[in-house]
């Protein structure tokens, strides 16, 4: 696991936070920096058809080492980290042979990963846990996935007795801001199907995502001196609070789980004269998803009737859809990953993603793409952590999937 660990520690030290306000592709320079490092490593490994686009998409190919026809399988991870928490100057820490106690991430800042807050830590007794110093995120999302893919491919090259068909890799930018598939060349990638290595704890296997939309709301108020405001002032902040109050409280992220959708206010800024709000809208069920969007439109129309036409401007657009409908017709690719986990002693945990992956959009671009665990927890947080042993398990799952494809003699064609 030394090579896996070395790779991961090297990758997380590169600041690849994406920026949703950027107009460039990729949205930040750090992503291209990491892509160029990976490009060099792929060249050193001897892979073929290595291509890094000006948009920050890195692809490569490991040629087949058998003559029989097998499906081309892809593995995908994203370069960027979340803009929610700083990814600059990440200082990874290793806690060897974890003993079950709180992890002190930063003594001077009094930051700790507490077992009472994160009881899942107890699943990793005796293992090596990796964290940041508590002032940044760690970057396991998705550099654990990158490290797992790179390590698995390096292992395959060094173990020619493992027979396989053509394998293709892709590392994408700006997944965290919903742009990871914007310039993805599916035809050029050439995979029959793929897996994103972008999941969470050990055993996660996911083929259902939210349907997703984003709503940008602008509110125009009227600001006059409060001493003469009677029947004239329109406080944009009050109107925004009224709009938010019309949305069901029990449909917020903090009160939903499993297949339950939500409205999530992600940004708010304003004054008496103007206010801006951003919501993300999520639901696994397409009908409920459409009803959520329609209800937000109704609320805006209601308040425009109340306060005057064009008081509130709503711009709403879909971001991605539940990839379940694209995966179910080729469900054997989920079964293949499940079988791989079982054969190496991992209990598969098949559940819906309460979020999205590049695979959600790629599946609708005719590249069916379930999602496999990386071993990480608490993504987008300074309390993010990953188990080294779980990362190694992800490497083993990738390898076993490749082995099973050769052994099963083209499962893709048996759909």
Residue 112 pairs with which residues in a beta bridge?
104
**In this structure, are residues 200 and 373 in contact, taking their beta carbons and an 8 Å threshold?**
yes
Q: Which two tokens stand for residue 12?
A: 């997380």
User: Residues near 311 by Cβ (< 8 Å), separated by ≥ 6?
Assistant: 219, 220, 221, 234, 239, 303, 304
Give me the helix-helix angle, 29-45 and 140-158, nearest 10°: 10
User: Residues near 154 by Cβ (< 8 Å), separated by ≥ 6?
Assistant: 3, 45
- Integer Rg of the chain from CA: 23
| Three-class secondary structure of residue 276 per DSSP | strand
| Three-class secondary structure of residue 39 per DSSP | helix
| Three-class secondary structure of residue 127 per DSSP | coil
Give me the helix-helix angle, 2-12 and 29-45, nearest 10°: 150
Q: How wide is the angle at C-alpha 86 spanned by C-alphas 82 and 91, nearest 5°?
A: 110
What is the number of other CB atoms lying within 10 angstroms of the CB of residue 18? 25
80 is catalytic: yes
Among the listed residues 61, 174, 175, 204, the single catalytic one is 175
**DSSP conformational letter for 148:** H
Residue 306 phi, psi dihedral angles, 5° rounding: -75, -45
Strand residue runs (E) in 227-346 = 262-270, 274-283, 312-320
Among the listed residues 15, 80, 133, 208, the single catalytic one is 80
175 is catalytic: yes
Distance (Å, whole) CA 214 – CA 244? 15
Torsion angle of alpha carbons 364, 366, 370, 376, nearest 10°? -70
**DSSP conformational letter for 174:** -
Question: Measuring CA to CA, how many Å separate 120 from each of 115, 242, 313, 377?
Answer: 8, 38, 43, 9
Distance (Å, whole) CA 316 – CA 294? 10
Q: List residues with catalytic annotation.
A: 80, 175
């Amino acid at each position: 696991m030394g090579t896996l660990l070395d790779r991961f520690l090297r990758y997380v030290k590169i600041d690849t936070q994406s920026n949703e306000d950027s107009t460039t592709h990729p949205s930040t320079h750090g992503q291209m920096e990491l892509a160029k490092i990976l490009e060099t490593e792929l060249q050193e490994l001897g892979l073929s058809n290595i291509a890094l686009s000006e948009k920050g998409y890195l692809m490569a190919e490991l040629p087949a080492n058998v003559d029989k026809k097998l499906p081309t399988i892809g593995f995908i991870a994203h370069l960027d980290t979340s803009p929610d928490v700083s990814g600059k100057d990440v200082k990874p820490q290793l806690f060897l042979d974890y003993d079950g106690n709180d992890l002190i991430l930063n003594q001077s800042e009094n930051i700790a990963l507490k077992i009472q807050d994160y009881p899942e830590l107890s699943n990793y007794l005796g293992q090596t846990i990796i964290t940041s110093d508590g002032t940044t995120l760690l970057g396991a999302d998705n550099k654990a996935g990158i490290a797992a893919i790179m390590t698995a491919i390096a292992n395959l090259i060094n173990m020619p007795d493992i027979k396989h068909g053509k394998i293709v890799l892709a590392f994408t930018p700006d997944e965290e801001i919903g742009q990871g598939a914007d310039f993805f060349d599916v035809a050029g990638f050439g995979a029959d199907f793929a897996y994103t290595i972008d999941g969470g704890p050990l055993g996660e296997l996911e083929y259902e995502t939210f349907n997703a939309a984003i709503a940008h709301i602008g509110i125009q108020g009227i600001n006059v001196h409060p001493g003469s405001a009677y029947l004239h002032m329109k406080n944009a902040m009050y109107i925004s609070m009224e709009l938010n109050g019309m949305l069901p409280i029990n449909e917020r992220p903090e009160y939903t789980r499993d297949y339950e959708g939500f409205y999530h206010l992600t940004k708010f800024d304003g004054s008496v004269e103007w206010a801006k709000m951003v919501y993300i809208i999520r639901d696994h069920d397409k009908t409920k998803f459409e009803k959520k969007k329609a209800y937000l439109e109704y609320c805006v129309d209601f308040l425009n009737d109340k306060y005057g036409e064009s008081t509130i401007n709503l711009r709403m657009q879909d971001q991605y859809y539940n990839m379940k409908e694209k995966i179910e017709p080729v469900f054997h690719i989920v079964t293949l990953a499940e079988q791989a986990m079982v054969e190496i002693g991992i209990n598969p945990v098949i559940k819906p993603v309460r979020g999205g992956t590049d695979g959600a959009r790629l599946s609708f671009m005719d590249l069916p793409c379930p999602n496999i665990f990386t071993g990480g927890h608490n993504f987008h947080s300074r309390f993010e952590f990953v188990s080294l042993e779980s990362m190694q398990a992800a490497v083993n799952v990738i390898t076993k999937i490749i082995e099973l494809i050769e052994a099963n003699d083209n499962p893709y064609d048996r759909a």
